[in-house]
Structures are given as C-alpha cells and as structure tokens.
Chain A
Amino acid sequence: MDAPHLDRKERLSAAKLHASTYVIAAVMLVLAVGLWRLQVLGATGYRVLAEANRVRKVPVLAPRGKIFDREGRIIVDNYPSVSCYLLREQGKNLDSDLPMIAAGLHIPVEQIEATLKRFAYAPKYQPLPLKPDITQDEQAFIEAHRNELPELETLDEQRRLYPREGFAAHLIGYVGEVSENDLKTEKYAVYNPGDVVGKSGVEASYDSILRGTDGSRNVVVNSHGKEVGQLGQELAKPGQDIHLTIDLDIQKAAELALEGKTGAIVAMDPHTGEILAMASRPTFDPNQFLHLSRAYWNSIVTDTDHPLMNKTIQAQLAPGSTFKIVMSLAGLQENVAQTMQVNCSGGADFYGHYFKCDKRHGAVDIHRAIPMSCDTFYYTLANKLGIDTMARYATSVGFAQRTGVDLPDEAVGTMPSTLWKLKTQHDKWYAGETISVGIGQGAIQATPLQLARALGGIASGGVLRRPHVVMDEGIQPDQRETFDTIHGMYPGSGEKTVALTTENWQTITDAMAETTISGTAGQAHLEGIDFAGKTGTAQVMSHDALARSGGGHKTVPNAWFVGMAPRRNPDIVVTVLWENGDWGSNSAKLGAQIVNAFVAKQRRVAGNLKVAEAPKVVAPPAVKPVAAAASVPSGQ
C-alpha cells in the first residue's frame, strides 16, 4: 500500500462527527434506563432474590428422648456422631476427586458413584449423604483437605445407641429415615422427607413424645453452599425421655431363657397391665439399622424364623392346652364342669372320630384335669358347652381382639364360632370341629400376650388390665395429651372384669398350682414359691400332614407355658412360647426361671412378695368380681 497523495487540508464531514456525540449520548441513555429499571424499579424484588440466594435454613436436629427401664436404668441412649455429606458445587467436576474421597472416608468409589447416580435428579443444592458416623481419623481427613475437597461437609447429629445383641430389640424397635411411601399416609403427614422416625416398637408408637422438635439456623452461604455466617437460630426442643414398665432384671432373665431358641417370652404384672419383660427370638441388632448393609438386611428378611417379628404380640398360634384354663372358666361358670367326671382311657370317640389323649388318666374331674392336662376331659367339656359358649368366654377374656398394648402392629388372633365360620368360610359349623378347639387346637389362634392377659386375668379373679410398656409416671404434663392420643391409637379389649365366682376362682387357681407340683409342669417346681401355671403342647400340623412330612425340626410341636406367682392375685404372669420346643414342660422350666428371677428380686429388694408358702386357707378375691361383664352371662 503506497501512501496516496495527500491533501492536508482535507476534512471529514463535521456533521457526521457531531452526530456521533448524539449516538454516544443515546447509548448511555439506554444503559441508564436499563439500570433504572433494575436498581430503582426492581430493587425490592431483587433484594428478596439476593437474600434467598445466600440465606439458607439449616435444620438443627433435636436429640430423641432416652428410654429407661421402670427403675430408671438406661436402655436406649444417644451418642454424638458426625456424618459426611457431599456438596455438588456449581461447575466443579467431582469425578477426579472421587478416588481421594473414597480413600479418605474408607468407602468404595463405586458406592459414591452409586450415590451420585441415585441423586442425579435431586436439586444441586441438596447435600448428598456420603457416610454416617465417621471416625475421628476421617474427620481429620476432611478438615485437612478443606481446600482441595471443598465439596465435603460434615454435620453433627445425635444417634441412637441400642443395647447390644438385639436385647429387647422388638420392644424398643429402631429408627430410620421416613420412606417416600410412608410420607403419603395420614399418620406420617407431619413428617418431612429425610426425617428420622421410629420404625417399630416403642420408637414407633411413642415417636411423637420421643422425637422432640427440630430447630433451625439461618445461615449465610456462598454460591457453593458453604456456610460463611449465621443470622439467627431457633433452638431445637429435645425429645422427652420415657420410662418403660420393663424391669431390666426380668428382661435379662427372659433373654437368657430364650438363648439359642426360637420363640417369645412376655411377663406382665396383672394388677396393672405393666409389661415387665418382652423378648422374642430370633432377634436383630437395631444398631445395624443405622447404616444398614444390604447383606445384613438380606440375612434378616430371608430368615424363615422372622427375626423382625415381635412374637409376643405378632405370633398367632394355636395355644394348645393353655386354652384349657379358659375352657375351665367356661365350664365352671356354666355349672357344667363342677360335677363332670370322665374316665380317660387314652382318648374318646366323638361324631365318628377317635380323639386321642396323650395318657390314660383314668377317672378325671376338673381338679385333676387341669394339672394332668387331660384331653379327654376337655373334649367332653367342649362337646357339652358347644363352640359358641366357648367363643363367648374366650372373647370375654380377650381372644380374637387386640389387647391394646401400646406397640404397633399387634395381631388379633382367631376364635372360631359358628358366626366366624359363616363369615370367613361361608359354611356352617360342624359339631365335630368343636372337639379339637376344646384343647386349643384347630382354628383357634392366640398371641403370647393374649394368653398372659387372659390367664393372668382369670387368676386375678376375672380382672383384666390393659397391657402397656410405657409408665404413666414420668410423662411430662405437657405431653399428657400426646400420651393419651397414643393410647387411643392402639385400641383393644381394654380394662374389663369378667364374672368369676370365688369357688370357681379357687378351683382353677389351685389346680394351676398343682400343675407345678404334681402335674405336667412338675419338673418346673419352685420350692418355697407359690407358683402356678398351665402347660401347652400345640401340634403345628395335623396328624395326617405330620405323617406325610416325614418329620423334621419344623414339625415338632410348639411348647407353651403360662405361669404366675402367687396362684391367686398374682404379681407376675409370664407366657413362654418355645417354637418346636416339643413339650409344654420344657417351656414351663423357662417360665420358672422368669418367675424365680422375679421372686428373688422382690425378696432381695423388700421381701414384699405377698405369698411365701402355699396358702391352704382360702382367701376371698382381692378384687371383687363385678356381677356381669358385657358379653358373659352370670351362668348361675
């Protein structure tokens, strides 16, 4: 490019240059208007947005109430714990950090990747749980790598510390994060996603008292969600402690008695309905549920002995001969059994079928029938009473109804009757079916707690209490309403009194005492303790099915025992269910351990066990039977 010949005088258009000033002014004006629009007209709105950007409400988790036994000994405690969360900050590629994070927190990279994948569609500001309950070493790792790994965040929490080895696990239950499905139900409407709630046992039924109220802090965060300051806070209201009716000493005896067995033991104070011990086997470790591994969960759900089932209130099984006490109540109150004499030749014919007894008992009346557990006597009695009379008495002492214990998912049980058969099977009842029900076999099903309450109630002169596991005492006045609401959520047959004459009461209780002396539970005799009870050996399948199955552990009968001390107005009643335990007498020995532990403690503490020697002098019932309970006629 050569420089052209230039005329130095030449000028560019002055008008155009002048005009450019206006262009500049116009551009400035447009920008100024834009600023006016945002900063003057829109300021209020944008200020709200700016605050929403930087201020975040962070929950302060309320520690759950602790759980004590009736004497104030701690059963469930809390411990401070630190959890690690992952923040997915804007724009940062986490992939390259994963191996380092995995190594520092001692978790596999795949697990972090799985978490990231699972929460891929969750909002970016939501922190992802990486590892709960991290160790001090892992905390130190996070602190030391604040700069390289700003995406790691810790949160202080209070975690549940449950007794080891599944001690009282079914009674206490466990906590877990509320599930998506639960949130949709009315019961869980008050909870938010991510809340930790009681999932079973007392943790579930008393959740509203135990949980407290979470607080919150208004924290200032930067664009990565990192906390840089705090504006204000609302303190968390800790959950209330509760005291169980459980006596740890009795509970320990029950847990020991069940060691290595499948079954359940429940002990109750029939005066009050307070449950003193509640154990079920196999059990589970609630501590494992805090960070549940797939392997542990699989081992639990595939176990055919149902470790998660609280068998004291959820196992519905044929009660076997323990039902004979209810039969005796019916027979005596109907004035049939007093005079009944049966000659047992090892069985009897009814309606063309031969019904076996396990022995040749010879001449048997009600006083021998109970301790000897003579089937022939009760076949005959059942035949005389008929199924509907039996059902009337059985339901009067709580069969086929929930007891109303303050625990979730109590089973109902079954008491067959003509109406029941019509309703469930649309068929008429055959008189022949009544015979087996007389010895607690056939369609009849009961839970261990139902049996404890029924037999304990009969021994108490017909007074039945509502079983419960949480003490009224110790509930704060402001929680009283919640407490009553909880009780209202577990309706059952409730407190009631059934008709029982003094003579009949004596007959039954004396016969039950004889059981542990010369009867079926003679091996379980406790010297110096007025110990009474009734054994039961319940077939788990019919004789035909048994013959076909060819034996095996699962075909062995269930061993039952319901025991009490003293025989009249007992201070403790205990039901032992030993699944496939073969003979009721085996369970009686376990029941004796519990009663012995109870009596030994009573004597140790105050020497206040009301009975020491077997009373030969008949005392009137401490609680006078009410003339008639709703469903039971006086029978006089």
Chain B
Amino acid sequence: MFRSRFRDFDWVLLGFVLVLTLISVLEIRSATEMTKFHGFHTKQMMFLGVGLVVMFLVSTVDYHRLLDIAPWAYGVSLLSLLAVLAVGKKVLGAKRWINLGGGVHFQPSEWVKLVLILVMARFLWGRAGEGKDLSWLDVGKAFALVCLPLALVLKQPDLGTSLTYLPVLVVGLFLGGMRLKQASVVLLGLLLLGGIGFAAGKRLKPYQQKRIDAFLNPDSDPKGSGYQIRQSLIAVGSGGVWGKGMSQGTQTQGDFLPIPYTDFIFAAFCEEHGFVGAMVVLLLYFLILVRLVQNAQTAADPPGTLIVMGVAAVMLFQIAINIGMCVGLMPVTGIPLPLMSYGGSSVIYTFLALGIVMNIRMRRFVN
C-alpha cells in the first residue's frame, strides 16, 4: 500500500524543485561568504531537510482529513495572527514573529497562507463546479474568508505577505465559477475603493509610499529609497548574458545589493550567472508551475484541484512580484522568492504545500 502510493509520488516535480533549491543554496553561499551571514547556506540546507521530511509526512495523510480540520485551523490562524500583534517580536519596525523559545522564531503569516488555500477549497467544495455559478452571498463569504487574515497581517504591518493571500481568492473565485458580471462589479468596486484611498493618501504607510515613489523614479534619491531598486537593476543589468561568475558579482560581494540572500537573491543570481542563468531558473519555475497545473487537472475531486491551483497561484504571484521587483517591473514589497530565498518559514510553507500537492496526486485514482 505504502509503496504503491509512493510510486505515484510526483518525482519529476520533486526533481525540478530539488534542482532549484540546489541553485538557491549555492547562491546563498556565494552571497553570504564575505559577510557576517556566512554559513546561512548550511542553515538553509537544514531547513530544506526538515521541509522534505514534512513534505513526505504530509503526503501520507489523506488531504480530506486536512479539509476536515481546515475550519479549526482557520480559527487557530486568526488567533495566532492576533497573538503576533499582541506579543510578537518587533523586527525592522514590524511585528511578524513569535518567539517559540530556544532561538526559534515563527512567522504565522506564512502558514496561514496554506490554511487559507485549504479553507477556500473546502468552502467552494459543492458550490463550485461545471455549470454552477456562485451566488453574490458566496462571493461575499469568499471575500470575508480571505480579507479577515489579510487585514490582520496588513496591521503588522506586512504588505508583502498579506498580498500573497489575494491569489488564493482570485483563483478560487475564477475556478469556483464567479460570473463575469460579478467579477466586473467587484473589480470596479475595488478600483473605486483603491482610488479613494490613494487620493486620501492614508492607505499607505510612509515607507510604503516611499517604495512606490522609488519604483516610479529610482534615480530620484540614489542613496535613499530608490537605493535598493537601483542597486538591484545595476546587479541584474551588469550581469550581462553570461554573468560575472560564481562569487564574482561586484554588486553582491561589495554589499551594494541589499539582502542578497533573501528578497534580492534573484538579482544576485542574475549578476553572477547572467541572462542564461536567469532563463534556466525561469524555465524551472515554468516547469514546476505547469506540473502543478497538471496535478490539478488530474485531481480526484474539485477540492483537490482547488488546493493545487491555490498553491500554484500563490507561487506564481510570488515569483512575479519578486522577480518583477528585481528587474524593476514591480515596487519593493519584501516578498520572498519561493524555493530560492533564504528563510525557514518560507521553506517549510513551500514544502508543506508541495506535500499536500503530492498527497492529492497520490490519491487521484481513489474513488
């Protein structure tokens, strides 16, 4: 039974993922070897090891059990987010972490993402399907489901992570059968709301406003807010076609590129491995995402499909925002690049999500 299950494990997907994480570990090593963060690559490997174990463990539990406990998990999530606001550790002006003792810090907003994916699938199960349309009430409920934790994370404040909850809502509504009319009305309403907020100028914190300004005009303040974008563009651009070589990036090694092992790891990679290296990474992401969609297509039931598509949507969103930021197409938001950025919470989340995907794939013929 166990062996047959793992024969259906998506080894191809895992292969792509492992290649990408290998690239990531090498780049973290390169970006930190001359800094006080030297040794982060070994810590990252440790995270990856834990992630793999977690992935295999999660894949053994039927995802329907997970769907059963999803509402409870959702409740716990909201509580943990409230706890962060109450007792969280303040890092760089935001409360995002809970100290679990023993030097371990935990960022609940990451795994809330996964709970949201599950709870959204669970909510749409039965309401969604071919030929079924969502009622206005359902659309409203779906919005509430996502916006509650989103608001709490936004309050930390962590705009980047809160934004990653949106793709869960978008993909859910899209696949769940939201009508075009509903979509247009919602979109118009959001635009109007956003416009009013923007005009009032109260929606964004000063640092967020600065980031937007810097994005629109990176040269306006070369040593201030635009600094990060500017240095990232220089890093990526100066990499050229073939790159400067492993550990040879002047922007990365000279500490010009900010946090080159987390948010800007892709810029560091582009500097040292050039356009060719960047294309390889993009291709790997494309293959992983397409593979996820395939798994969604072969899922045994709608919640399976919805979960896998949720995972894929969040991943695509993070890739688009992070890489878009590195190449100057997006403002600085502080969203990690999945499978590449250094960080335990991000790694664990990704492998948890992949574990559920494997889980769904292994049970695609169960009826």
Give the distance in Å from the alpha carbon of A36 to the alpha carbon of B130 in the complex. 40
> Are B328 and A38 in touch, CB under 8 angstroms?
yes
A90 within 8 A of B: yes
- Please name the residue on chain B nearest to A32 by beta carbon: B282
- Complex Cα distance, B305 from A6, in Å, reads 15
Judge if A49 is at the interface, Cβ distance under 8 Å: yes
Contacts of A14 in B (CB 8 A): 297
B345, CB-defined interface residue at 8 Å: no
**Cα separation A119 to B253 with both chains bound (whole Å):** 29
Of the listed stretches A220-228, A239-247, A266-274, A513-521, name the one at the interface; the rest are far from the partner chain.
A220-228
Contact B174 A42 (CB under 8 A): no
| Complexed CA–CA distance, A220 and B256 (Å) | 12
Which of A17-25, A60-68, A249-257, A367-375 lies at the interface with chain B? A17-25
CB-based contact A90/B223 at 8 Å: yes
Over the window 228-244 of chain B, the binary record of Cβ atoms lying under 8 Å from chain A Cβ atoms (1 yes, 0 no) is 00010111111111000
CA distance A3 to B223 in the complex (A): 56
Complex: how many Å from CA A222 to CA B293? Answer: 44
Given known pairs A221-B254, A224-B255, the reply for A10 and B301 (CB within 8 Å) is yes
Which residues of A1-44 are within 8 A (CB) of B? 1, 3-8, 10-14, 16-18, 20-21, 23-25, 27-28, 30-32, 34-40, 42-43
Beta-carbon contacts under 8 Å, A437-482 to B:
none
Annotate B262-281 by CB proximity to A: 1 below 8 A, 0 otherwise: 00000000100011001100
Say whether A50 faces chain B, with CB atoms less than 8 Å apart: yes
Q: Is B246 positioned at the interface, with any CB of A under 8 Å from its CB? A: no
Contacts of B319 in A (CB 8 A): 27, 31
Query: Per a CB cutoff under 8 Å, which of A4, A25, A49 touches B125?
Result: A4
**Residue from B238, B239, B241, B256 with most neighbouring chain A CB atoms (10 Å):** B238
Residue-wise, chain B 55-88 has the 8 Å CB interface mask toward A (1 for contact) of 0000000000001100100000000000000000
Assess A223 versus B240: contact at CB under 8 Å? Given A13-B175, A34-B329. Answer: no
A50 to B254, CA, bound (A): 10
> Which residue of the partner chain, among A24, A31, A53, contacts B293 with CB atoms under 8 Å?
A24
Give the distance in Å from the alpha carbon of A228 to the alpha carbon of B253 in the complex. Answer: 10
Residue of B nearest to A10 (CB): B129
Chain A interface, DSSP helix/strand/loop, else mixed: helix
Cα-based distance from A45 to B234 in the complex (angstroms): 9
Decide if A106 is an interface residue (CB 8 Å cutoff).
Answer: no
On whether the beta carbons of A54 and B234 are closer than 8 Å, the reply is: no
A141 at the interface (CB under 8 A from B): no
Does A146 interact with chain B (Cβ within 8 Å)? Answer: no
Q: How far is the CB of B82 from chain A (nearest CB, A)?
A: 21
Q: Are A17 and B255 in contact (CB under 8 A)?
A: no
The answer to whether A8 and B250 have CB atoms under 8 Å apart is: no
Q: Is B195 an interface residue (CB 8 A)?
A: no
Q: Report the interface size for chain A: residues with CB under 8 A from the other chain.
A: 50
Contact of B279 with A220 in the complex, beta carbons under 8 Å: no
Determine whether the beta carbon of B251 is less than 8 Å from that of A53.
yes
Contact with B along A207-249 (1 / 0, CB 8 A): 0000000000000111110001000000000000000000000
Instruction: Kindly state whether residue A47 has any CB partner on chain B within 8 Å.
Output: yes
**A124 sits at the interface (CB 8 A):** yes
Q: Is A46 in the interface zone, CB < 8 Å from B?
A: yes
Q: Which residue of A lies closest to B70 (CB)?
A: A1
What are the residues of chain B within 8 A of A49 when measuring CB–CB? 234, 237-238
Chain B residues near A10: list those with CB within 8 A. Answer: 129-130, 301-302
Residues in chain A near residue B275, CB distance under 8 A: 35-36, 39-40
Given that A13-B175, A35-B278 are known contacts, is A8 also in contact with B286, CB under 8 Å in the complex?
Answer: no
Q: In this complex, what residue of A is CB-closest to B126? A: A4
- For the complex, is B47 an interface residue (Cβ under 8 Å from A)? no
- The range of chain B's interface size is 35 or more
Q: What B residues does A38 contact at CB under 8 A?
A: 233, 236-237, 327-328
When the two chains form their complex, are residues A16 and B174 in contact, meaning their CB atoms are under 8 A apart? yes
Which residues of B lie under 8 Å from residue A36 when comparing CB positions? 275
Contacts of B9 in A (CB 8 A): none
Check if B351 is an interface residue, CB within 8 A of chain A. Answer: no
State whether A21 touches B290 (Cβ < 8 A): yes
Taking CB atoms, residues of chain B closer than 8 Å to A228 are: 254
Beyond A8-B301, A38-B328, whether A124 also contacts B223 by CB under 8 A is yes
Task: Name the residue of chain A whose CB is nearest to the CB of B302.
Answer: A12
Chain A residues closer than 8 Å to B305, beta-carbon distance: 12, 17
A49 to B329, CA, bound (A): 19
Residues of A within 8 A of B233 (CB): 38, 46
Q: Which residue of A lies closest to B304 (CB)?
A: A12
Asked whether, in the complex, the Cβ of A17 is within 8 Å of the Cβ of B328, the reply is no
Q: Mark A102-126, 1 if CB is under 8 A from B, else 0.
A: 0000000000000000000000100
Would B289 and A24 count as touching, CB distance under 8 A? yes
Complexed CA–CA distance, A242 and B42 (Å): 64
Q: Is B306 an interface residue (CB 8 A)?
A: yes
- Contact A1 B122, beta carbon cutoff 8 Å: yes
In the assembled complex, the Cα of A192 lies from the Cα of B259 at a distance in Å of 37
* CB < 8 Å neighbour of A39 from B177, B278, B285, B300: B278
CB distance from B112 to the nearest CB of A (A): 17
State whether the Cβ of B357 lies closer than 8 Å to any Cβ in chain A: no
Query: What is the chain A residue whose CB lies nearest that of B283?
Result: A28
B46 interfacial contact with A, CB 8 Å: no
* Bound Cα distance A37, B302 (Å): 41
Contact of A28 among B71, B253, B282 (CB under 8 A): B282
List, in ascending order, chain B residues with CB within 8 A of A39's CB.
Answer: 236-237, 239-241, 270, 274-275, 278
Q: Which of A7, A13, A24, A39 has the most CB of B within 10 A?
A: A39
Partner of B126, one of A6, A11, A51, A54: A6
- Report the nearest B residue to A42, measured CB to CB: B237
B123 within 8 A of A: yes
Once the chains bind, are A223 and B254 in contact (CB under 8 Å)?
yes
- Whether A43 contacts B306 by the Cβ 8 Å rule is no
**Complex interface: chain B residues within 8 A of A30 (CB):** 320, 324, 329
Partner of B130, one of A3, A11, A46, A53: A11
Besides A12-B130, A17-B175, 8 other A-B contacts (C-beta < 8 A): A7-B126, A8-B300, A31-B319, A31-B327, A35-B278, A39-B241, A45-B237, A223-B231
26 contacts across the A-B interface (CB closer than 8 A)? A1-B122, A4-B127, A8-B367, A10-B129, A11-B129, A11-B302, A16-B174, A20-B171, A20-B293, A21-B290, A21-B293, A31-B320, A31-B323, A31-B324, A31-B327, A32-B282, A35-B275, A35-B278, A35-B327, A37-B327, A39-B241, A40-B240, A40-B275, A46-B233, A50-B238, A53-B254
A-to-B contact residues, CB < 8 Å: 1, 3-8, 10-14, 16-18, 20-21, 23-25, 27-28, 30-32, 34-40, 42-43, 45-47, 49-51, 53-54, 90, 124, 220-224, 228
B residues in contact (CB < 8 Å) with A? 67-68, 71, 122-123, 125-130, 171, 174-175, 177, 223, 227, 231, 233-241, 250-251, 253-256, 270, 274-275, 278-279, 282, 285-286, 289-290, 293, 296-297, 300-302, 305-306, 309, 312, 316, 319-320, 323-324, 327-329, 367
